[in-house]
């Protein structure tokens, strides 16, 4: 079992490196978004996809090895959480258990940071799109005239709204 647990630890350390890389790519993506550099944004999105794919591959390896450990311990795979694995390992090998715990804590922190940064990037994109739509509306006015508007006596009213070059946004 110790050999498989050490393999899991190696995979966790690779995952830590990949999540650091993901965080760095997300940070660079944000800088490109702020600079409105579309080409760089596309490059960072592609880089992020590659890192995520690598994470998925390492995670699949970890699950396979965890299944082997579950068989050795005669437990269902659903119970082979990292926390349970640490508790199983601690009596026989406290150093290995501590290394697993440290890796788990580092991963939790890195995943949380990457998730928050990615959410912040999404919020920046959403706000930018709202601003672009508002500016488009202000500059172009109505691209297609509204349907005719009639007054209280059934007479057609003239169109009063048009393009505005000054934003009324607050």
| Backbone φ and ψ of 169, nearest 5° | -70, 150
Q: Is the pLDDT of residue 169 over 90?
A: no
Select from 1.20.140, 2.60.120, 3.30.457, 1.20.58 the CATH code of 2-140: 1.20.58
| Closest residue by Cα to residue 138 from 106, 101, 168, 170 | 168
- What's residue 142's pLDDT? 54
pTM (2 decimals)? Answer: 0.75
Q: What is the mean pLDDT of residues 7-17?
A: 96
Q: In angstroms, what CA-CA distances link 90 with 5, 86, 101, 105? A: 11, 6, 10, 16
Look at residue 14 and give its three-state secondary structure.
helix
Cα separation of 47 and 94, whole Å? Answer: 38
- What's residue 148's pLDDT? 65
Taking only the tens place, the pLDDT of each residue in 92-109 is: 999 999 999 999 999 999
Confidence category of residue 134, pLDDT binned at 50, 70, 90: confident
| Backbone φ and ψ of 22, nearest 5° | -60, -45
Domain boundaries, the chain: 2-140
| Backbone φ and ψ of 2, nearest 5° | -60, -35
- What's residue 64's pLDDT? 94
């Amino acid at each position: 079992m110790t050999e498989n647990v050490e393999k899991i630890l190696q995979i966790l350390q690779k995952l830590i490196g990949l999540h650091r890389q993901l965080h760095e790519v997300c940070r660079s993506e944000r800088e490109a978004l702020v600079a409105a550099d579309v080409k760089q944004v596309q490059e960072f999105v592609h880089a992020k996809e590659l890192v995520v794919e690598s994470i998925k591959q390492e995670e699949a390896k970890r699950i396979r090895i965890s299944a082997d450990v579950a068989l050795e311990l005669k437990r269902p795979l659903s119970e082979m959480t990292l926390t349970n694995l640490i508790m199983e390992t601690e009596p026989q090998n406290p150093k290995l258990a501590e290394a697993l715990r440290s890796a788990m804590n580092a991963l939790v922190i890195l995943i949380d940071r990457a998730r928050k940064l990615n959410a912040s990037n999404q919020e920046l994109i959403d706000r930018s799109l709202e601003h672009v739509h508002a500016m488009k509306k202000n500059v172009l006015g109505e691209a297609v005239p509204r349907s005719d508007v009639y007054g209280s006596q059934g007479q057609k009213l003239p169109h009063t709204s048009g393009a505005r070059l000054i934003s009324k946004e607050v």
